[in-house]
């Protein structure tokens, strides 16, 4: 039986009760400390993650100072590719919800807009009410127009949009970026395709 100290390292338990326990190895192999455990210590995990991150930064040509200055999200996205999803341009006004991708695709009065499925208030999946021609959050009843403008409820801004581009008879939605109305009104208003 093993316990962990405050630093997360594995220490043998019961040494005071059993003097021969101190001589017993902490694991069953001749490998470095913690490597034979079912789970490595937190310190081992962090050390390995740091080494891997430094390797990624080096392969991208970033020095240690430049890498250290990056926010965690930016550092993680540097090695990723942009995730997009392509949709046919809707034939009529209304909303199509893609739960798997977390996207609401709306065609409304000559425009196509891609929204994040989550309500900006507490990230509950929004629903389209065809009869009222508006979105509603089932949790706290925030309501939005088809173009994502906030009407009423606990939310404090319009629905979050996603960058969208046209490619022939389809639109391509950038799943990696969210545009919040309160953070960048110009970008939020520009995230529209005219059809």
Structural domain boundaries of the chain? Answer: 2-78, 84-194
The closest of 160, 165, 138, 163 to 148, measured between CA atoms, is: 160
The second-level CATH assignment, the architecture, of 84-194 is 3-layer Sandwich (2.102)
Judged by DSSP in three states, 77 sits in: helix
What is the pLDDT at residue 138? 92
> Roughly how many angstroms between the first and final C-alpha of the chain, as a whole number?
67
Query: Which pLDDT score is estimated for 5?
Result: 45
pLDDT profile of the chain (195 residues), mean per 10 = 45 43 46 49 67 66 51 46 89 94 95 95 92 92 95 94 96 95 96 95
Q: Positive or negative, the Cα torsion across 92, 97, 101, 103?
A: positive
Whether the full predicted model's pTM is greater than 0.75, yes or no, is no
Tokens of 136: 């509603």
Distance CA(149)–CA(104), nearest Å, equals 14
Q: What is the pLDDT of residue 49?
A: 67
Burial of 55 (0-12, 13-18, 19+ CB in 10 A): exposed
DSSP-derived letter for residue 51 is H
Q: What is the DSSP string of 116-161?
A: ESB-TTT-PBPEEETTTTEEE-TTT--EE-TT--EEESS--SPPPE
d(CA 92, CA 89): 9
Please give the C-alpha separations between residue 85 and each of 8, 45, 173, 186, in angstroms, as whole numbers. 42, 34, 5, 23
- Do 103 and 173 touch, CB atoms closer than 8 A? yes
For residues 135 and 143, the answer to whether their CB atoms sit within 8 Å is yes
């Amino acid at each position: 039986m093993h316990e962990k100290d405050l630093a997360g390292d594995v220490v043998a338990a019961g040494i005071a009760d059993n003097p021969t326990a101190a001589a017993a190895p902490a694991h069953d192999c001749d490998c470095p400390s913690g490597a034979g455990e079912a789970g490595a210590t937190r310190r081992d995990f962090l050390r390995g993650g740091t080494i891997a991150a430094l390797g990624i930064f080096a392969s991208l040509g970033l020095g240690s100072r430049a890498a250290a200055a990056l926010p965690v999200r930016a550092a993680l996205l540097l090695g990723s590719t942009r995730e997009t999803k392509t949709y046919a341009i809707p034939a009529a006004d209304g909303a199509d919800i893609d739960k798997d991708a977390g996207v609401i695709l709306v065609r409304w009065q000559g425009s196509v807009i891609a929204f994040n499925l989550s309500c900006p208030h507490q990230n509950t999946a929004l629903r389209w009410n065809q009869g009222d021609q508006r979105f509603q959050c089932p949790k706290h009843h925030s309501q939005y127009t088809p173009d994502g403008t906030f009407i009423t409820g606990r939310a404090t801004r319009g629905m979050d949009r996603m960058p969208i581009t046209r490619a022939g008879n389809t639109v391509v939605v950038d799943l990696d970026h969210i545009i919040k109305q309160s953070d960048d009104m110009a970008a939020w208003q520009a995230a529209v395709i005219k059809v």
